[in-house]
């Protein structure tokens, strides 16, 4: 068992909204690893960051991603930082090598900022969200690009348009 498609990308790229539409288009379920982490921990991602720090969150996230890749056969949406973990990169590379689709939802700063705003539920963007988003994206872009089997620009596009493009690539 393996996901039909795994969605990766930075905060504000549309993984959640596109995932819902894509799962409907493909006639399957959406699973979000951030939701899995929250269910396992009984608290929000932001609370985990505040209480236990990013390192602890990443450890819990790593397990959630590995479990989801092994168990879920629908659309899988990963948290923006999940692909940065070395073990997760290996899992995604193996999944892609086996014919799986890893879709990088690419987004520019101008389109991402209104989507993420000054949202306290995104702990890595607290302070100056624009500056922090740019720093995260500069760090993560090479990883997203290396892991992706499909890259879709999401700027100024509706989730239905993005999902249709990914569905076509999966077919």
pLDDT at 120: 44
Residue owning tokens 């690539």 = 169
Looking at residue 72, which CATH number applies to its domain?
A: 3.40.50.300
**Burial label, 123 (beta-carbon count in 10 A; 0-12, 13-18, 19+):** middle
Domain carrying residue 59: 5-170
- Total structural domains within the chain: 1
Asked whether the predicted pLDDT for residue 82 surpasses 50, the reply is yes
**Burial label, 115 (beta-carbon count in 10 A; 0-12, 13-18, 19+):** middle
Condensed to tens digits (0 to 9), the pLDDT of residues 107-160 reads 876 666 655 654 444 454 555 666 777 788 888 999 999 999 999 999 889 999
Element (H, E) at 99: none
């Amino acid at each position: 068992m393996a996901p039909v498609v795994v969605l990766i990308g930075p905060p504000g790229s549309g993984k959640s909204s596109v995932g819902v539409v894509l799962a409907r288009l493909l006639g399957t379920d959406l699973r979000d690893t951030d939701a899995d982490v929250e269910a396992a921990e009984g608290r929000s991602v932001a609370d985990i960051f505040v209480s236990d720090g990013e390192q602890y969150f990443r450890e819990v996230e790593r397990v959630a991603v590995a479990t989801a890749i092994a168990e879920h056969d629908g659309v899988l949406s990963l948290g923006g930082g999940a692909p940065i973990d070395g073990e997760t990169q290996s899992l995604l590379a193996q999944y892609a090598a086996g014919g799986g689709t890893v879709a990088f939802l690419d987004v520019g700063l101008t389109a991402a900022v209104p989507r993420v705003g000054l949202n306290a539920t995104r702990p890595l963007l607290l302070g100056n969200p624009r500056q922090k988003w740019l720093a995260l994206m500069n760090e993560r872009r090479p990883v997203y690009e290396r892991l992706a089997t499909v890259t879709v620009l999401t700027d100024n596009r509706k989730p239905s348009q993005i999902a249709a493009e990914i569905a076509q690539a999966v077919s």
